[in-house]
Amino acid sequence: MADSSESIHELYDLAVVGCGPAGLAAALNGTIRKKKIILFGTDFCSPKLHHAPKIENYLGLPNITGEELRKKFLAHLQEVKLKVNQNKISGIYPEGENFTLQSRDKFFKARAVILATGVNTVKPIQRELDYLGRGVSYCATCDGPLYKDRKVIVLAYNRDGLEEANFLSEIASEVLLVPLLKEEEAARVRLNEKIKVVKGKAMGITGEMWATGVALEDQQLTADGVFIVRESVLPDQLVPGLKVGSQGIEVDRWGATNIPGVFAAGDCTGAPYQLSKATGEGQVAALSAAKYLDELKSKVKEDRPLATV
């Protein structure tokens, strides 16, 4: 049911990032409220649910397996003709009263956003966040042109990182690739012969005012810039300015974040990590987003100048 053919020129009412129970519930309820939805997720929505041998506390469905419930969720989306867009979102930025969602070299636009990215297990390496935007980047397509004819390091935690290294090899004078994924996964991507592979565990970013390298366990690499490519991005790096506490994204009772038009639901907002909580918060966030969109539409009408004769 996955699809990635949506036009990047369309303006959606609501973009839902994440296709676990919270994201699916949000997309479904947004659709029921007659909003134009785009749902971003992986090619296999909710592996966590898939691996659950039995779910005993989901009201009305006793002793159902996680996989059975996952299929029911996806079947419900098919009923309302909702598809999953597999473009990985690497950044969400306000643009007037709308938002631009970036995925490598593609851009999507929406009036409101719901984050349902699940529990984020990303652990930044030492000083990574200190240098973000100052020599450290998560997107080669976005920032690669800044390093034309310069030396860069790519820390690749997945296959996308290897592809980003190939992309950068056509721009930079030298690319040092540190593969941090399983060897069998790395073997599936053919690397440009210009890329130099350096094996080791990344410990931290080095530099002074600007990042100038990466410290591995047994050696020091130097470069003009560092690209870090992982499966997911920290929420406050995905949406600059987003308020995140020790438990997760900070939201109010209605799923609203500190950024108007951005809502969050599910495990990314903190414990308890329960299925019913996730689906319930997804519904609440969708209702809140729908209300926000309706109010936005009313404001536009009120601000429109009266016709003169």
Write out the DSSP string of 107-163.
EEEEEEEEE--------PPBTTGGGBTTTEES-HHHHGGGGTTSEEEEEESSHHHHH
Q: What is the mean pLDDT of residues 144-163?
A: 93
Q: What is the DSSP letter of 267?
A: G
Per DSSP (E only), the strands in the chain are 11-17, 37-40, 84-85, 91-95, 98-103, 106-115, 136-137, 151-156, 174-179, 195-197, 202-207, 211-216, 220-222, 225-229, 262-264
Q: 218 is written with which tokens?
A: 């047994």
Q: How confident is the model at residue 309 (pLDDT cuts 50, 70, 90)?
A: very low
Q: How confident is the model at residue 141 (pLDDT cuts 50, 70, 90)?
A: confident
pLDDT of residue 305: 58
Q: Is 203 exposed, middle or buried (CB count within 10 Å of its CB: 0-12, 13-18, 19+)? A: middle
The full set of domain ranges for the chain reads 11-121+233-303, 129-229
CATH class of the structural domain 11-121+233-303: alpha beta
Question: Which amino acid, 4?
Answer: S
Q: Residues 48, 26: contact at Cβ < 8 Å?
A: no
Beta-sheet pairing, 84-85 with 37-40 = parallel
Q: Do domains 11-121+233-303 and 129-229 have the same CATH topology?
A: yes
Q: Rounded to 5 degrees, what are φ and ψ at 107?
A: -130, 140
Check: CATH 3.50.50.60 for 129-229?
yes
pTM, whole model, 2 decimals?
0.79
Q: What is the mean pLDDT of residues 82-107?
A: 92
Q: What rounded mean pLDDT belongs to the chain?
A: 91
pLDDT of residue 302: 63
Place of tokens 């639901």: 265
Question: Do you find a cis peptide bond into 272, omega within 30 degrees of 0?
Answer: yes
Q: What is the DSSP letter of 87?
A: P
Does residue 112 have a pLDDT over 70? yes
